[in-house]
Amino acid sequence: MATSSLSILGTSSKPTSTPIHEPDLPNPSTALLLNKNGSPKSPHQKPTTTIIFISLLLITCIALSASIAFAFLFFSSSSQAPKIPLQSTIRPLQKLQQPVVILISSDGFRFGYQFKTQTPNIHRLISNGTEAEMGLIPVFPTLTFPNHYSIATGLYPAFHGIINNYFTDPITGERFSMQSKEPKWWLGQPLWETVVNHGFKAATYFWPGSEVNKGSWNCPSKYCRHYNGSVPFEERVDTVLGYFDLPSNEIPVFMTLYFEDPDHQGHAVGPDDPQITEAVARIDSMIGRLIQGLEKRGVFEDVTIIMVGDHGMVGTCDRKLIFLDDLAPWIEIPKNWVQSYSPLLAIRPPAGYSPSDVVAKMMEGLTSGKVEKGTNLRVFLKEDLPERLHYAASERIPPIIGLVEEGFKVEQTRSKKPECGGAHGYDNAFFSMRTIFIGHGPQFARGRKVPSFENVQIYNMITSILKIQGAPNNGSSSFANSILLPS
């Protein structure tokens, strides 16, 4: 089991930055000079000297007058514009007795979706809060359960134990799925447990791991909802708002709110379909519903809202398929060896097979030029994966991991079923896997942009805002404090 791996968390792990290249701006176009009939001027049309002189004089006078007027308006407006002082310290609470954090997840909200349509409510949080300017970096693998639990614990999947949405325990042979609620699977200490440990109340409206009875957290019916995807988004928002109608000592100081969209649409149609635009607009309306409800109760400026996604999304299609059966001339990979296919290939050969030999033979075939799309899959022993992925220090991780090129998928055998849609789970260095981070509240500076960072840093941000001691994790307290305003 991977429980012993938690003992190595004494040092913090810094996120790996990915260079971003801005595209060059196009050269400005050159306009043609046209006569009053719309055709280019003829070289035979020569105005007289007097007309030229008068025209130049008039143009000079007009230009001079315009310059003087512009200068007057510019300097006068600059001198009269109000000076907005730079915020340097935390804003005091006006109504609440202690800080309250609402952590919102919009599943599959790829960075850039906020520009697909008008999102006035999301942009209100951005304008008056702090944003990861080029997006939040998910952990690897960029899947829903590993990332939600990394956000909740500050741990990489190798340390919190949820290494995939589905996997098999190599010792017991038991299978983990997204319905597994036994605490033995869920390592680390999630935020709701940390909050309760300090004598406060926490409330979770859907979040992977929140239904697990673990430590001091028993998922109380008043404050914990068991997942039900059919619950309308409006009901979820209204339930969270209702917590602020409780007596002050019963208001949870930490709350989660989860929406399945736009991940649901992204898988079905890819990231560029009009359905994504509609889903994003709906999420924005839910953020507006939350803001209006908090304003009605007079607590909007007191409450900290942190809005994130768990991963991005990329389009996939038939022409981007790699089939394991095509490797048969070099090595046969039976179905029962494979724990996951795409976009994370995970293989656990049975006893008697050398993982290193399997990797060598697979790579020989993939690089031979005889396997269709083979060069878009790289296979590693897990200990040889790039260190920046932090995906080795757990027995739950199979010994052979394949990294699939962006937008490609791995399957066992050829079929005629349609494959076009969207997927995630790829290397977190791909920009398409990035999601959003927006922090709005007393300890987030207004209008601030910060560089991209990994989501394991969010745990320490929240414990710092709540002024409680967090559990050991892979984030950095100093990094979290660099994002937040000092008290």
Same domain flag for 298 and 410: no
Mean pLDDT of 336-360: 96
Q: Is the pLDDT of residue 281 over 50?
A: yes
Per the structure, the complete domain to which residue 196 belongs is given by 100-315+429-483
Same domain flag for 413 and 291: no
Same domain flag for 346 and 462: no
Q: Is the pLDDT of residue 13 over 80?
A: no
- Rounded-to-integer distance, Cα 84 and Cα 207, Å: 39
pLDDT digits (tens, 9 = 90+) for 140-194: 999 999 999 999 999 999 999 999 999 999 999 999 999 999 999 999 999 999 9
CATH of the domain at 384: 3.30.1360.180
Same domain flag for 306 and 434: yes
Q: Which of 81-85, 143-147, 165-169, 266-270 has the lowest mean pLDDT?
A: 81-85
Does 183 map to a domain?
Answer: yes
Does 154 map to a domain?
Answer: yes
- Contact in structure between 188 and 182 (CB atoms under 8 Å): no
Task: Output Rg (C-alpha) for the chain, integer angstroms.
Answer: 28
Q: Is the pLDDT of residue 98 over 50?
A: yes
| Preceding peptide of 343 cis, ω within 30° | yes
- Average pLDDT of every residue of the chain: 87
- Rounded-to-integer distance, Cα 458 and Cα 478, Å: 12
Residues annotated as catalytic (active site), given as ranges: 144
Q: Is the pLDDT of residue 3 over 70?
A: no
Does 7 map to a domain?
Answer: no
Q: How confident is the model at residue 95, as a pLDDT?
A: 95
| Preceding peptide of 350 cis, ω within 30° | no
Does 43 map to a domain?
Answer: no
Residue with more model confidence, 62 or 252 = 252
Does 282 map to a domain?
Answer: yes
CATH of the domain at 467: 3.40.720.10
Residue with more model confidence, 99 or 53 = 99
Q: Which of 35-39, 87-91, 308-312, 474-478 has the lowest mean pLDDT?
A: 35-39
Q: How confident is the model at residue 307, as a pLDDT?
A: 98
Mean pLDDT of 335-340: 97
Q: How confident is the model at residue 62, as a pLDDT?
A: 54
Q: How confident is the model at residue 29, as a pLDDT?
A: 32
Q: How confident is the model at residue 109, as a pLDDT?
A: 98
Residue with more model confidence, 86 or 384 = 384
Same domain flag for 223 and 329: no
**Residue after which a domain boundary falls, among 419, 439, 473:** 419
Q: How confident is the model at residue 265, as a pLDDT?
A: 97
**Residue after which a domain boundary falls, among 393, 419, 445:** 419
Does 26 map to a domain?
Answer: no
- Contact in structure between 147 and 318 (CB atoms under 8 Å): no
- Contact in structure between 312 and 452 (CB atoms under 8 Å): no
Q: Count of domains in the chain?
A: 2
| Preceding peptide of 170 cis, ω within 30° | no
Same domain flag for 242 and 343: no
Mean pLDDT of 224-253: 97
Q: Is the pLDDT of residue 32 over 50?
A: no
**Residue after which a domain boundary falls, among 389, 419, 449:** 419
* Residue (of 159, 169, 233, 236) closest to 190 by Cα position: 159
Q: How confident is the model at residue 57 (pLDDT cuts 50, 70, 90)?
A: low
Same domain flag for 185 and 203: yes
pLDDT digits (tens, 9 = 90+) for 102-111: 999 999 999 9
pLDDT digits (tens, 9 = 90+) for 353-391: 999 999 999 999 999 999 999 999 999 999 999 999 999
Does 51 map to a domain?
Answer: no
Q: How confident is the model at residue 282 (pLDDT cuts 50, 70, 90)?
A: very high
Same domain flag for 474 and 450: yes
pLDDT digits (tens, 9 = 90+) for 462-487: 999 999 999 999 999 999 999 999 98
Q: Is the pLDDT of residue 53 over 60?
A: no
**Which residues are paired to 162 by β-bridges?**
none
Mean pLDDT of 431-439: 98
Does 163 map to a domain?
Answer: yes
Same domain flag for 271 and 331: no
Q: Which of 71-80, 260-269, 283-292 has the lowest mean pLDDT?
A: 71-80
* Residue (of 373, 384, 244, 338) closest to 365 by Cα position: 373
Same domain flag for 290 and 326: no
- Contact in structure between 112 and 261 (CB atoms under 8 Å): no
Same domain flag for 372 and 238: no
C-alpha 235 chain-centroid distance = 24
Q: How confident is the model at residue 65, as a pLDDT?
A: 52
Q: How many residues does the chain have?
A: 487
Same domain flag for 173 and 252: yes
Percent of the chain residues past pLDDT 70, beyond the cut: 82
